[in-house]
Structure 1
Amino acid sequence: MGSPLSMLESEAVALLVRLEHVQPFSLSETMVPAAALHPRALCRLEYFLHHGQARLRRRIKRYLSWLRSDAGEADAARAQRAFVVLRLEFNTLLSQFDLFADVVTQRSEHGTGVWLAGLDVAAADGLRTGTVAPGVRERLPEVACYLDRGPGAAIRRARTRLPGGAENPVAIVRVPRERMIGSGVASSLMHEVGHQGDALLGLRDSVAGEVALHAADAPARDRAVWRLWERWLGEIIPDLWAVASVGVCSTLGLIQVVSLPRAFVFRWGTDDPHPPPWIRVLLSAAVGARLYPHPQWERLRRTWVELYPLGSGRREEFARLAATIPELVELLAGHRSSALGPRTLAQAMALTDRTPQRLAAIAERWRRDPRTAALLSPSLAFAVVGQAKADGTVGPRDEGRLVEGLLRSWAFGRALGRERAAADPAVPACPARHVRCSIPDRG
């Protein structure tokens, strides 16, 4: 073993060698074209990692030059402190690489990769559909999805801080593997997209101010309830976004996620950003009834209460929350902010083609002519399948087949460059044999 400085020099050179083994995804991952990330998303990931590697490589080389100089030889302890910082930065870069690797490597799995690409397209559509503020659509981030275990989805929003402090270049959505494959995945996906949309439009802050004023004017017995609503807005607004995007599909998917033992459904933690699941389902149904009036929402509410009747624990608190849901929904629906322009939140988010009657009509047209699926946006297609499921016209097996066909068709369409194909008649349409998207006849 040589001197401390020679040991540090050897370790720094070894750090450079290991850094060279961190290869770009474009050179190390194999996948069919339909499973690939959107080119803009992949470019942003690659440039982000490339710049991080280049910056660290320059710092290591400067360290080695300093270490070999007279200044470096003068102080071994100082050299050690500088090396430790470099190694921490290297581990930070690996953490960032591993985060994106989860998004990219699954694209090489047969079947799964294409499904993920389809989810990317659906997520981008859900984000674009809900962002109505002038100028916001022009700066929407790319969205990339990956699968993981567990019942819940999550998002690492674009432009938030990654380990090391760098800004995340794309929105990354973790989708529960157990949600694949059925229309329920749309509920999780659109909720997470709603988190990104909420951040872009600043809805949580603007709604929170209005809820706080409402709480101040509320009867004394209700003020604590309204403070809870204010605390939970970070999850309530994405739930509203999901209902607006995919209709009853969102509430049905939420029920699938939170159908747990009673202790979890009625769990009460005031420090939890999520409302208790029992309340969350009731609120989702109430939002649906406000945006897309129909008797189905009351039927869903009654079904949920029958599945999980209120017990004796915290009965009064849950009853007060449930009693204030109509007020909260009206406050949300009538909310105005600069991000929404002249429209209220309900006017901005509710879509005329997402009413249950309209969705049922589209499903009937789809049943008669399978080519209808190609004319629907992804979020609308999910809404149609979810409504057909709620109406009992599509069973679980057909639902899975339809969703798989939709994901494959969206991924395939993006791989062919549908935007260019629309402007170029010489580009052939997607071969029908690759898209199994016909709704079966009734009965």
Structure 2
Amino acid sequence: MARSVADTQFLENEALSLLGRLDTVKPFALNTPMVRAAAISDEAQKGITSLLNRVSREVKHKIEAYILWLKNPLNARVPASEAQGRFAYLKLRFNNLLDQLDIFADVLSQRGEHITGVWLAGLDVLAKDALVLPGSYYEAPPLVCFIERGHGAAIRRARTRLPGGDDNPVAVIQVPRERLIGSGIASSIVHEVGHQGAALLNLVDSVKAALGERQAQGQDVFAWKLLDRWISEILSDFWAMAQLGIGATLGLMNVVSLPSYFVFRIGTDGPHPFPWIRVKISIAVGRALFPHLQWRYLENTWESFYPARKQKATTRQTVQALEHILPSFADLVVNHRPDSLRGQALKDVFPVKERQPVHLQKLYKRWKYAPRLMEAAPPTLAFAVLGQAKSDGNITSVEEVFLIRRMLTHWALLRTMHDCGAGKTLQASALQHRQINFTEQQLQLI
């Protein structure tokens, strides 16, 4: 049955309506007010703008082509149902565009909040620093942070699929507002960065293969299977530990300090280790990377908060089985050599030497009297020093919050200068390097 004139006019008007609404999709640079220091990086801005412009042009061309198709007399006998089906497809693609717009609008709208927007820009710098590894093993994508309600942090990784199937040009890290600004902020962000880094290095599949070999040996199979199930989250915790030292575990403890029922709730169908063992895994990895008595003290504290002996027998058996293999597991992870690292072990590509407790303690003592050195250090090193100082009892939570706020503002301003081409100072160049080595001679001069 031929399509009626009324059907054609109706569909044409609906298509024209889509074009009208498409014209309201403007670049964020035209409608998102923020101070310059709160802005996302130029790289991220370009990636987002390029994506939205490309998808907008594609949708516009498809709508215009559809209208021409409707008006073509050769298509007059095409049934109304088929014409409606084609329009429905266009509408879905248009809605995909709006979904993508909203993802980034949530990120950018917060940059207009007084002070908070600048802190978020500082967290962007922290995230970037945590992702860059020496050795050019991958091309790091831009990262942006935003605040969301709820308890957990999350990441929408770059180069994954957005609604509609387009590649995401920017990694988007979601942080709960309750962690801004406090001890857990760096641990949460670097953990989420670890998900991106692990994907770029194909770490999950590589470590899973090594875990499969351990399971094949037939000993402690159940415990090794649990670690295999949780390995994605564990590797992200490793990433945070390798960058932040004991501060990563302190932040994790802050996040998972829940009622005892939840801390010992062992789920075998999800990617997260149950909180009690997750902290113990973090401590085991910390011992392997940074041998020190501090891990014994921290472990005693955690066990006193949540004594496993009070749990039911099946829980205690699972805990004991996992604890038995944790040293071997931590050794496996830190010494793992994935193909993506071209023969290097994981511990070799992170600043492990610069995050040793004694070194961090020494830096903190000097930074107390020479704050300019802290300002010149990479953000992950600054957070590692503060985390160590907090663990040692040398800094209060109030002092820590003050310093974090100051440093986030400093990093945001420094990036602004760098993006404008005016910040090529010692401090600006420091953000482009993974490590700063303070020699004994330099420290004596302070």
Give the distance between the partners of 2:218 and 2:341, measured in 1 at CA.
26
Residue 65 of structure 2 corresponds to residue 67 of structure 1 = no
Classify 1:256/1:329 alpha carbon distance in 2 versus 1 (closer, same or farther; 3 Å).
same
Identify if the C-alpha distance between structure 1 residues 414 and 88 changes in structure 2 by more than 3 Å, giving closer, same or farther: same
Q: In the alignment, what sits opposite 1:38? A: 41
Residue 160 of structure 2 is aligned to residue 157 of structure 1: no
Q: 1:132 to 1:4 in 2, by over 3 A?
A: same
Counterparts of 1:182 and 1:209, CA distance in 2? 37
Query: What's 1:431 paired with?
Result: none
Do the aligned residues in 2 keep the contact of 1:107 with 1:116 (CA within 8 Å)?
Answer: yes
Aligned counterpart in structure 1 of residue 95 of structure 2, from 91, 114, 129 = 91
Which whole-Å CA distance do the structure 2 matches of 1:265 and 1:409 have between them? 37
Count residues with an aligned counterpart: 420
1:50 is aligned with what amino acid?
N
Return 5+ residue gaps in structure 1 as ranges: 428-443
**Are the aligned partners of 2:183 and 2:250 in contact in 1 as well (CA < 8 Å)?**
no
Secondary structure, counterpart of 2:368 in structure 1: helix
Structure 2 SS opposite 1:268: coil
1:200-349 matched pairs, under 5 angstroms? 200-219=200-219, 222-310=220-308, 311-312=311-312, 313-349=314-350
RMSD across aligned positions (CA): 1.7
The CA deviation at 1:319 is 1.3
Give the AA of the match of 2:320: A
2:9 aligned with 1:11: no
In 1, Cα distance between equivalents of 2:65 and 2:345: 56
**1:119 matched residue in structure 2:** 123
Aligned to 1:414: 415
1:29 paired residue among 28, 32, 35: 32
Give the Å deviation of 1:2.
7.6
Contact 1:244 1:291 in 2 (8 A): yes
Residues 193 and 238 in structure 1, CA contact (< 8 A), matched pair in contact too: yes
> Contact 2:215–2:224 (CA<8 Å) still a contact in 1?
yes
SS of structure 1 residue aligned to 2:84: helix
Alignment pair present for 1:169 and 2:172: no
Question: Identity percentage over the alignment?
Answer: 45
Pairs within 5 Å for 1:160-199: 160-199=160-199
1:55 aligns with 2:53: no
Deviation at 1:422, TM superposition (A): 5.6
Alpha-carbon shift at residue 420 of structure 1 (Å): 4.2
- Separation in 2, partners of 1:286, 1:267: 20
Deviations 1:248-306 (A, max 9, x none): 11100000110011121111211110111110000001111111111111111111111
CA distance in 1, matches of 2:28, 2:322: 49
1:107 corresponds to 2:111: yes
Q: Please report how far the alpha carbon of residue 417 of structure 1 lies from its aligned counterpart in structure 2 after TM superposition.
A: 1.3
1:347 Cα deviation (Å)? 2.5
Structure 1 SS opposite 2:273: coil
Greater Cα shift, 265-274 or 49-58: 265-274
Conservation of the 8 A alpha-carbon contact between 2:418 and 2:424 = no
One-letter code of the match for 1:249? G
- Cα deviations across residues 339-375 of structure 1 (Å, max 9, x unaligned)? 2233322222352111111111111111011212222
> How many angstroms apart in 1 are the aligned matches of 2:419 and 2:386?
23
Matched residues in 2 for 1:244 and 1:25: separation? 36
Superposition TM-score, scaled by structure 1 size: 0.92
Q: Which secondary structure does the structure 1 equivalent of 2:298 belong to?
A: helix
Structure 1 residue 164 displacement after superposition: 0.8
1-side partners of 2:423 and 2:162: how far apart? Answer: 38
Aligned mates of 2:121, 2:229 — CA distance in 1: 34
- Counterpart of 1:281 in structure 2: which amino acid? V
Structure 1: distance between partners of 2:35 and 2:362: 36
In the alignment, the residues of structure 1 paired with residue 81 and residue 74 of structure 2 have an alpha-carbon distance, to the nearest angstrom, of 12
Partner Cα separation in structure 2 for residue 285 and residue 212 of structure 1: 23
Q: How much does 1:207 deviate?
A: 0.9
Distance 1:125 1:424, change over 3 A: closer
What's the CA shift for 1:76?
1.3
Alpha-carbon contact 1:204-1:237 (below 8 Å) kept: yes
Q: What is the match of residue 432 of structure 2? A: none
Asked if the contact 2:137/2:341 (under 8 Å) is kept, the reply is no
- Residue 383 of structure 2 is matched in structure 1 by 382
